[in-house]
Structure 1
Amino acid sequence: MHVSVLTRPILLRVLFALACLAAVLAPPCLADAPAAPAPVPEYALKAALFFKLPPFVYRPDTDRTTPLTMCILGSNPFGNALDRLASATIDGRPVRIRRLDAGRDAGSCEFAFVSRSEADDLDATLRRLAMHPVVTVSDIDGFARAGGMVEFALGSEGSIAILINRSAGQRLGIEFNAQLLRLARVVVP
């Protein structure tokens, strides 16, 4: 299992930022934040959560010398938000964003966001993805219970809950950071 090179203080700052994003910045996370922050568009927040996920997931075949490949299966709900984030590196690795149709070529992805446009064919898509150590992420209702690994569920007042299906990841040798698991809700299918 790969252990992240982040030091504890950096990891805690990143987790704090992730927790703030997950709470949609309400209440404000920073002491000097405005009393009523502007609402964050739903898919800008989901793009940030998807982009921040890789350092908290341990994949068995990670090649740290190549770009990190993050894919979007189906229609792109993020607009250009994910592309803007991809100009930064993740754990020192450049990020490559790929758009795929119906899960084809998804074996080259390390992380795959399954768009709502794929909901009607979700079982077949998850079966194809389960043949590769791809971390599957979606905001399709019931995604984690259906066999996906990470679900961004819309909560009350516009918050985003992170649901994790650990057993789906473990079948492929994928583990989730314990601190991420504390922020998320573990789902048993």
Structure 2
Amino acid sequence: MVKDLLIKFLFILATLSFAPSVVSETPVALQEQKIKAGLVYNLIKYTAWPKTPLTPPNQIKNTYNSTTLTICLFGDDPFDGYLAPLQGRTAQQAIISIISVTSIPETASCNAIIVHHSQRDQLPKLLEFVQGRCILTLSDIEKFAELGGMIELARQEEKIELKINKDAVDNSKLVIDARMLKLAKIISKGGAQ
């Protein structure tokens, strides 16, 4: 009950209209990045990684390490440093570690990858590389979910909308809590639901 209320509160907060700034766009942009960083934390908390390898040990692609949950920033930090407070916090009974990666092979050790818009050209190769691995992919790149990414933090007018590519999530063997799915726009092969 309390968790449901907390989740609803955070999503209501995330979808509230951004107050226009008379002086500059910067405060609005920073507020948006802060909200997106908070959403990332909650998405991580409400995503379940497999506890044991899903493939034979000699073919392990990526499994959840029960002591560390590694969030990789592929490219620059898309949330202007607002993810930094997550370093050392816990989610899924693991300590969160945030690292920057600059190449696709480095992402093999990640539990979650946040893709910066500067890496849009690398997106097809990255998504092919992580396909079938237990790696959550997130980005605010436009049409990220439609392109095969798992979770898009989309700006719709003056709100943040979650778009979840359920097929990509299911193929990774990750499980996103049903309460989170209810708050998102679900993208599937047949189009949005």
TM over 0.5: yes
* Residue 71 (structure 2) pairs with residue 79 (structure 1): no
Instruction: Decide whether aligned partners of structure 1 residues 182 and 143 sit closer, same or farther in structure 2, where only a CA change above 3 A counts.
Output: same
Query: Partner of 1:137 in structure 2?
Result: 138
Give the paired residue count.
170
1:73-126 CA distance string (max 9 Å, x none): 011122321112334322442210011113232121111101101111210111
Please state whether the residue corresponding to 1:154 is helix, strand or coil: strand
Quick one: percent identity of the two aligned structures? 28
Please state whether the residue corresponding to 2:125 is helix, strand or coil: helix
- Distance in 1 between the 2:144 and 2:73 partners? 15
Instruction: Decide whether aligned partners of structure 1 residues 120 and 64 sit closer, same or farther in structure 2, where only a CA change above 3 A counts.
Output: closer
- Distance in 1 between the 2:134 and 2:66 partners? 18
Q: TM-score normalised to the size of structure 2?
A: 0.79
- Distance in 2 between the 1:124 and 1:13 partners? 39
- List alignment gaps of at least 5 residues for structure 2: 20-26, 52-62
1:151-176 CA distance string (max 9 Å, x none): 0000122x100000011111121122
Say if 1:107 and 1:133, in contact at 8 Å, map to a contact too: no
Q: Which runs of 4+ in 1 moved over 3 A?
A: 24-27, 61-65
Question: Partner amino acid for 1:46?
Answer: K
Say if 2:111 and 2:135, in contact at 8 Å, map to a contact too: yes
Query: Partner of 1:66 in structure 2?
Result: 67
Question: Partner amino acid for 1:42?
Answer: E
- RMSD of aligned residue pairs (Cα, Å): 2.2
Q: TM-score normalised to the size of structure 1?
A: 0.80
- Distance in 2 between the 1:138 and 1:95 partners? 18
* Residue 21 (structure 2) pairs with residue 21 (structure 1): no
- Tell me which protein shows more strand as a share of its residues: 2
Say if 1:24 and 1:45, in contact at 8 Å, map to a contact too: no
- List alignment gaps of at least 5 residues for structure 1: 1-8, 28-37
Please state whether the residue corresponding to 1:81 is helix, strand or coil: coil
